[in-house]
Amino acid sequence: MCGIVGYIGDKHAIELLTCGLEKLEYRGYDSAGVAFIDENKLKIVKSKGRLNNLEEKLEVSPKHSHIGIGHTRWATHGEPSDINSHPHQNKKGNIAVVHNGIIENYLEIKEELIKKGYEFVSETDTEVIPYLIDMYYEGDLKESVIKAIKRLKGSFALGIMSLDEPDKLIAVRKDSPLIIGIGQGENFIASDIPAVIDWTREIYILENGEMAELTKDNVILMDFDGNPIEKEVYKVTWNIDEAQKGGYDHFMLKEIFEQPKVLKDTLFPRIGNDGRIRLDDIDTNSLDIENIEKIYIVACGTAYHAGLVGKKLIEKYAKIPVITDVASEFRYNNPFIDEKTLLIVVSQSGETADTLAALRLAKKKKAKTLAICNVVGSSIAREVDYILYTWAGPEIAVASTKAYTTQVVLLALLALYIADVRKTIDEDEYKKALEVLNSIPDDVEKILRSKSKLEDIASHLYKSRDIFYIGRGLDYYVAMEGSLKLKEVSYIHSEAMAAGELKHGTLALIEKDTPVIALATQDYLYDKVISNIKEVKARGAYTIAIAKEGNNEIEGVADLVIYIPDVINELAVPLAIIPLQLIAYYVAIQRGCDVDKPRNLAKSVTVE
């Protein structure tokens, strides 16, 4: 979603701001802008579209500023346009603001300000902020910001500067992420760490209700009343290369190929030498696993698909009823939750607005809450009772790949752990599952070696109008994820169906050469899926099956078969999804799509 950067120091602010904004491009945006002080004037340059539109405009402007704020906007209030882009300023043009989030009561404030003679030029909610600061300004920027933010309801990460105090930046955080980069003789603000790690690895992660006043030599942290606070400096240990493409053409491909490593990172530290799962990251005693009566797993998109797999595994191994729900539905469904309920939220970013709201709702209803999350210090990570991190590293491509497989294996570990504590699994089954989990990273590596075959298959698919995915049991959930991956990066219409449901309507859409990708990795459902493949073939479909090695009879049925290593049914998901990720990627490439930044999508969906 929106990205914020800010700089104060001796370097050329605009260069640093645009570099920082480039690093935040993965968040998704439709316009960009910067504010800076030059020749004793506060100047604002902004542009709809990609960052290079802004950079072209900036080339004709002088660049001698040592202070500035920048923004990439993903439209919420008002269409993407130059006027609606940030930074926004007051009429006098001496205060500039960039904002990430939504001001819920902006209409009310706008009315009040209009009555006082303020004139608005944009359709945004943000514009009320520079006007409020203007209204309260009595010679101290920080004080006027404190008064202004007390009026705001909603979520807001803010970067603020003023011509009257040209040696100061103000940063504010409530419900939208913001960090401070601490430099030598320079300081930064940003929505996320990649924007600043070229210049500093020392970071303050602002919490909700915290703000900061930055000069080039100092950072004063405070609460929303201006009372000073202290924070630990977070030292970034990962390298910028990890957030770069590392030799691959696209982040999506790089991230698909990182899976063997990140699966090891997520799994192996949690499997002890004695072959038992250890969840040292959480206080499992207070989680009181024996007394959990019901589990909800709540998430969005790909994370929801991982949650569906989690449901099957927890029910199978731990024998606890699990409801998996989409966060945007769950939060309005008045779910049955009490102190014996465990709510598991799954989120790569840890910032997804609906998932966060679901978490807050469950906490209010006294459930125990646990998150499976990838971003350290994210809102979900900080608000949840118990956190298990997927160690997938930064995921830059909008389409989630490595986050999904790490979520699935972590849910498998959790299911087995709970089962072990509650003694609902016999020792042989537990050992077998762990043996398979241990080999998953190598099995994924093996599937990735068939990359060129999958690229070839994509060349048969890329001109299709529709592509269907079918499966039964866990394979149905893999089908859902494979289908989502394809549509989001290639823009081909796709549907995932429970294979047995096809004949209840969707079969009408199958005609000559319609591609149908059939998942057939669940031994107990294998024959049924074979029948479903025959069913669509009889209507002319072009069929591709994903099956386990050794199940060769499927070759006589499907037009093409992709094999994955023969593992137990419960743990086939992180293997079966790999060919589907690669098919989606190659189909998108062959259609000339911008795979890392698909249209209309954002990496982190911080609005409802």
Which residue ranges make up the site for ligand F6R (CB under 6 A)? Answer: 300-303, 347-349, 352, 355, 399-400, 484, 488, 604-605
- Nearer Cβ to ligand F6R, position 48 or 597? 597
How near is the Cβ of 406 to ligand F6R at its closest, in Å?
A: 11
**Is 48 a known active-site residue?**
no
Shortest approach of ligand F6R to residue 575 CB, angstroms? 19
- Give the tokens for residue 214: 């930055």
Element (H, E) at 178: none
Catalytic pick among 23, 312, 485, 603 = 603
Measured CA to CA, the distance from residue 275 to residue 265 in angstroms comes to: 16
Task: Report d(CA 132, CA 134) in Å as an integer.
Answer: 5
Helix, strand or coil, per DSSP, at residue 29: coil
Please say which residue, 186 or 488, places its beta carbon nearer to ligand F6R: 488
Question: Residue with CB nearest ligand F6R?
Answer: 301
Can you give 147-171 as a three-state secondary structure string? HHHCCCCECEEEEEEECCEEEEEEE
Cα distance between residue 305 and residue 265, in whole Å: 21
Residue closer to ligand F6R, measured from CB, 71 or 402: 402
DSSP, residue by residue, 37-51: EETTEEEEEEEESSH
Which residue type occupies 424?
Answer: T
Measured on CA atoms in the order 530, 536, 539, 544, is the torsion positive or negative?
A: negative
Nearest distance in Å: CB 402, ligand F6R: 11
Strands 294-299 and 95-100: unpaired
Encoded tokens for 528: 């049924």
Work out how close the CB of 246 gets to ligand F6R at its nearest, in angstroms, rounded to a whole number: 20
Q: Is-contact 370 342, C-beta < 8 A?
A: yes
Q: Return d(Cα 94, Cα 383) in angstroms, integer.
A: 37
Q: What's the distance, CA 36 to chain centroid?
A: 30
Beta bridge partners of 154: 103
373 is catalytic: no
Q: Helix 451-461 to helix 573-590 angle, to the nearest 10 degrees?
A: 50
State which residue, 17 or 344, has the beta carbon closest to ligand F6R: 344
* Shortest distance in whole angstroms from residue 524 CB to ligand F6R: 29
Give the shortest CB-259-to-ligand F6R separation in angstroms.
14
* Nearer to ligand F6R among residue 496 and residue 530 (C-beta): 496
Nearer Cβ to ligand F6R, position 304 or 417? 304
Nearest to 532 by CA among 568, 506, 512, 551: 506
φ, ψ of residue 481 to 5 degrees: the values are -70, -40
- 2, 300, 373, 593: the active-site residue: 2
Helix, strand or coil, per DSSP, at residue 92: coil
Q: Closest separation between CB of residue 474 and ligand F6R, Å? A: 18
Q: How far apart are CA 606 and CA 300, in angstroms?
A: 12
- What tokens does 553 get? 């009879």
The two beta strands, 156-162 and 165-174, are antiparallel
**What H or E segment, with its residue span, contains residue 203?**
strand 202-205
What is d(CA 233, CA 517) in angstroms, rounded to the nearest whole number?
A: 49
Closest to ligand F6R by CB, 277 vs 414, is 414
Min CB(399)–ligand F6R separation in Å: 4
Read off φ and ψ for residue 8, nearest 5 degrees. Answer: -145, 125
CB 307 to ligand F6R: min, Å: 10
How many CB atoms sit inside 10 A of residue 394's CB?
A: 19
Q: By the 8 A CB rule, do 603 and 349 touch? A: yes
| Residue 16 or 577 having the CB closest to ligand F6R | 577
Question: What is the amino acid identity at position 197?
Answer: I
Q: Whole-angstrom Cα distance, residue 332 to residue 328? A: 7
For residue 87, whether the previous peptide bond is cis, meaning omega lies within 30 degrees of 0, is: yes
Q: What is d(CA 571, CA 416) in angstroms, rounded to the nearest whole number?
A: 12
CB of 604 to ligand F6R, least distance (A): 6
CB nearer to ligand F6R: give 89 or 348: 348
In terms of CB distance, is 94 or 349 closer to ligand F6R?
Answer: 349
Residues with active-site annotation:
2, 603
